[in-house]
Chains A and B, each alone.
Chain A
């Protein structure tokens, strides 16, 4: 293992591509870093080089009437939000680590929040990329327009690729006008069936909510948070419908404080034990959640009821954490879902792999990886199949 890591901050895409070509030539491994908020992901080992995207930052192009924005990969999400808000617009992504995370990191890690079912996730909002590759070239995929089927959709392959194929240097995304009104509530129940009943009605009903999240934490209560944003009448209707569901279950709906933020930031807080993240078929969430809370190491559960993405934080005895975490991934697979150990305590890294099981089509993934990074220098060990 190398003792010293060479840190480099390319000033522009061309320099970034040149650095990658040199690293590939010299067989020096590269770790790619936005602001480092999600460096816990994957099975990555120490690398020779740490390449930061900090200088590839800023709004490159923003035409408000086209509802698109082109950003440097190193732009922080908080800066994106501020820039777009000046035009009365927003990027409808609410990933964890929301303020510190960079655009490139959010794309590379396919980092989504609770707005996904309403506005689409990273893969749905991303319409174009420029990526520095290990052969020193810069490849553009997609473009500036919202509809485009010219050639392969390489943008999709980059979403969630964890930097294993190249360094995303620039991205164009769809944006939206800021909603005029926001409202919501959080309701507390003793029984999981009540919380999921409210969530289910909100997700499947005619009125459209922006976020619908079920949480269970150490206090033993089941909470469901519902938020709607948009035009006045639609928001009032959505919240009214959801509150009616709460009342019919004899629940009490309280005003939202930062409940949704707290639920979203579970990955930031889960520094001990293990955080399991699974994507489930929608109807499988309830049973999965009910069995998760019975586990010995159970601490917190957060279910995005609108998309089926569920996180379970496990703490306590190492052996129990490992056993429970692997059991949860297996349970997710059995119901047709998939998942990963999103985060685990440093001392568990060696014992608990991020992906204990291989994903379907992993041989194709390996071929793609080899085609883009034949020297194998980009993010070794980071992804599911490398």
Chain B
């Protein structure tokens, strides 16, 4: 601690207990208090910090806005939390090359706002985009509703500057579409802070679509809504977003946001098509038709920007609205092939019932990325969270069984690292460890994440052998 202060100065280091408490949690359910928090102001600060930590074998845990949903920013093995709050400048907006160069602390939405006058935007739009940082997006390979047609963070990052755990600064990629040699930018994006610290990001900017059509369709049950999703895709339409919500979620959202969703619907789809104006109305009409063929009780098309924003406000505010239903929720992020939506959604419901917990569903149906929000009340005792986690594990097991993944955009973090063996065999994990070894041979970068750890995963290993 004293060493850090003399290295970086007192203004960049927090060590008081009250200050540290602010950094012991993120958007997920786990907590741990850091030994110190550092607020670097430059790449040089980050490199100096990394060298210091390397010398003293201290773990480093990077942190953006702390909105992460898998405990990625939690210092589970102690050490220094590095907050990028002071490295939050947009360094360059390069319109001719359709690129922006940013520091990791820039907030996702701020970038899109800054480039909007040039008719451009940054595509990944996680629900937390008003708060989450681009450094965090790089770490988690964040998605969002509009990634169905346009891809997730990794498809929109062409260059990074990173600091390795020994303090080495490396620039990878740049403004061109690719670099020579192994795709290390691709390896780094989504590595959850376990390979290094990102200190600068070059992102792709995309021309804003000329126009869009936003529709809300209400169905009697989730089955009809799910089948509609497959039917739309099968018809050759790739909307920019297809979001689904069940009745419980709809009720919470309506109470909080008044988006105008019908409360009696068993399932709701929020759909958007965008692009050149020509053909958009054809696509909208075709979607409406498919919805009605699948028993939609109502299809509403937003006719003004205000109406569109209202429909979206419901979706984007859904997680926050859960407070109306329950003091706590545990959200899962499993992915399945979209054709499996109806049966896996039934299974999600059953898992909740088995553990005597309500489950609300608000998710990216178009790419099969579920977000079951398992509602619990921690005031009733620790058993509540345990049951929520047990229900979550059953859901993830089903996702993997359907050929899917335990996480589509929230990351593995410390929340699901014990579940990695559900999806990957030991040879798969060994291959991933080789990459880790190459970037961070001493294992100081965000330890206790992604890979199962013997100490914390013992219980789970026991459970899985017992089955």
**Which residues of A line the B interface, CB within 8 A?**
63-68, 88, 110, 116, 120-121, 123-124, 131, 133, 137-141, 143-157, 159-161, 176-178, 180, 204, 206-208, 230-234, 236-238, 279-284, 307-309, 336-340, 355, 359-362, 364-365, 367-368, 370-372, 383-385
Residues on B with C-beta less than 8 A from A232 are 279, 282
Shortest A108–chain B CB gap in Å is 12
Confirm or deny: B49 has a beta carbon within 8 angstroms of a beta carbon on chain A.
Answer: no
The answer to whether A365 and B182 have CB atoms under 8 Å apart is yes
User: Which residue from chain B places its CB closest to the CB of A136 in the assembled complex?
Assistant: B427
Beyond contacts A123-B183, A133-B427, A147-B409: 15 other A-B pairs, Cβ-Cβ < 8 A, are A140-B428, A144-B337, A146-B368, A148-B407, A149-B412, A153-B190, A156-B187, A232-B279, A236-B278, A279-B179, A282-B97, A337-B176, A355-B180, A365-B181, A367-B438
Residues on B with C-beta less than 8 A from A133 are 427, 431
User: Which residue from chain B places its CB closest to the CB of A362 in the assembled complex?
Assistant: B181
The answer to whether B430 and A149 have CB atoms under 8 Å apart is no
Contact A233 to B279, CB < 8 A, known contacts A65-B233, A66-B337? yes
User: Which residue from chain B places its CB closest to the CB of A278 in the assembled complex?
Assistant: B176
Confirm or deny: B98 has a beta carbon within 8 angstroms of a beta carbon on chain A.
Answer: yes
Residues on B with C-beta less than 8 A from A137 are 427, 430-431
The answer to whether A67 and B279 have CB atoms under 8 Å apart is no
The answer to whether B236 and A233 have CB atoms under 8 Å apart is no
The answer to whether A65 and B230 have CB atoms under 8 Å apart is yes
Residues on A with C-beta less than 8 A from B177 are 116, 121, 279, 307-309
Confirm or deny: B186 has a beta carbon within 8 angstroms of a beta carbon on chain A.
Answer: yes
The answer to whether A157 and B186 have CB atoms under 8 Å apart is yes
The answer to whether B170 and A364 have CB atoms under 8 Å apart is yes
The answer to whether B181 and A145 have CB atoms under 8 Å apart is no
The answer to whether A147 and B335 have CB atoms under 8 Å apart is yes
Docked complex Cα distance between A141 and B181 (Å) = 19
Shortest A131–chain B CB gap in Å is 8
Docked complex Cα distance between A370 and B441 (Å) = 13
Shortest B229–chain A CB gap in Å is 9
Residues 363 to 413 of chain B near chain A (Cβ within 8 Å): 364, 367-369, 403-412
Contact A204 to B207, CB < 8 A, known contacts A150-B407, A157-B187? yes
Docked complex Cα distance between A368 and B404 (Å) = 27
Confirm or deny: B355 has a beta carbon within 8 angstroms of a beta carbon on chain A.
Answer: no
Confirm or deny: B147 has a beta carbon within 8 angstroms of a beta carbon on chain A.
Answer: yes
Listed by A's residue number, 29 A-B pairs whose Cβ atoms lie within 8 Å are A133-B427, A133-B431, A140-B425, A145-B336, A146-B367, A147-B335, A147-B409, A148-B335, A149-B409, A150-B407, A150-B424, A151-B420, A152-B187, A152-B436, A154-B187, A154-B432, A157-B182, A206-B209, A207-B276, A231-B283, A234-B278, A238-B276, A308-B176, A336-B176, A360-B172, A360-B181, A364-B438, A368-B182, A368-B438
Residues 262 to 287 of chain B near chain A (Cβ within 8 Å): 275-279, 282-283
Residues on A with C-beta less than 8 A from B405 are 143, 145, 147-150
Docked complex Cα distance between A177 and B234 (Å) = 8
Residues 217 to 252 of chain B near chain A (Cβ within 8 Å): 230, 233-236, 238
Shortest B206–chain A CB gap in Å is 10
Residues on A with C-beta less than 8 A from B97 are 281-284
Docked complex Cα distance between A279 and B435 (Å) = 26
The answer to whether B99 and A281 have CB atoms under 8 Å apart is yes
The answer to whether B435 and A371 have CB atoms under 8 Å apart is yes
Shortest A339–chain B CB gap in Å is 7
Docked complex Cα distance between A242 and B131 (Å) = 40
The answer to whether B96 and A150 have CB atoms under 8 Å apart is no
Residues on A with C-beta less than 8 A from B369 are 147
Confirm or deny: B178 has a beta carbon within 8 angstroms of a beta carbon on chain A.
Answer: yes
The answer to whether B368 and A145 have CB atoms under 8 Å apart is yes
Confirm or deny: B292 has a beta carbon within 8 angstroms of a beta carbon on chain A.
Answer: no
User: Which residue from chain B places its CB closest to the CB of A354 in the assembled complex?
Assistant: B180
Residues on A with C-beta less than 8 A from B236 are 88, 177-178, 180
Residues 165 to 198 of chain B near chain A (Cβ within 8 Å): 170-187, 189-191
* Stretch of B5-13, B149-157, B304-312, B314-322 contacting A (4+ beta carbons < 8 Å): B149-157
Docked complex Cα distance between A88 and B236 (Å) = 9
Residues on A with C-beta less than 8 A from B174 are 281, 336-338
Residues on A with C-beta less than 8 A from B411 are 149
Number of interchain pairs (Cβ within 8 Å): 258
User: Which residue from chain B places its CB closest to the CB of A280 in the assembled complex?
Assistant: B176
The answer to whether B439 and A364 have CB atoms under 8 Å apart is yes
The answer to whether A145 and B170 have CB atoms under 8 Å apart is no
Shortest B415–chain A CB gap in Å is 12
B172: contacting residue among A284, A355, A361, CB under 8 A = A361
Residues on B with C-beta less than 8 A from A308 are 176-177
Residues on B with C-beta less than 8 A from A148 are 335, 404-405, 407-408
The answer to whether B408 and A147 have CB atoms under 8 Å apart is yes
Contact A150 to B186, CB < 8 A, known contacts A110-B178, A204-B207, A365-B181? no
User: Which residue from chain B places its CB closest to the CB of A151 in the assembled complex?
Assistant: B432
Confirm or deny: B54 has a beta carbon within 8 angstroms of a beta carbon on chain A.
Answer: no
B435: contacting residue among A152, A176, A180, CB under 8 A = A152
Shortest A213–chain B CB gap in Å is 15
A120: contacting residue among B94, B99, B151, CB under 8 A = B151
Residues on A with C-beta less than 8 A from B147 are 147
Residues 417 to 458 of chain B near chain A (Cβ within 8 Å): 420, 423-425, 427-432, 434-439, 450
User: Which residue from chain B places its CB closest to the CB of A230 in the assembled complex?
Assistant: B279
Contact A384 to B337, CB < 8 A, known contacts A149-B408, A337-B176? no
The answer to whether B183 and A160 have CB atoms under 8 Å apart is yes
Docked complex Cα distance between A180 and B412 (Å) = 40
Contact A63 to B183, CB < 8 A, known contacts A145-B404, A149-B411? no
A63: contacting residue among B178, B337, B410, CB under 8 A = B337
Docked complex Cα distance between A116 and B175 (Å) = 16
Confirm or deny: B83 has a beta carbon within 8 angstroms of a beta carbon on chain A.
Answer: no
Shortest B263–chain A CB gap in Å is 30
The answer to whether B368 and A364 have CB atoms under 8 Å apart is no
Residues on B with C-beta less than 8 A from A145 are 335-337, 367-368, 403-405, 408
Residues on A with C-beta less than 8 A from B31 are none
The answer to whether A65 and B184 have CB atoms under 8 Å apart is no
The answer to whether A231 and B279 have CB atoms under 8 Å apart is yes
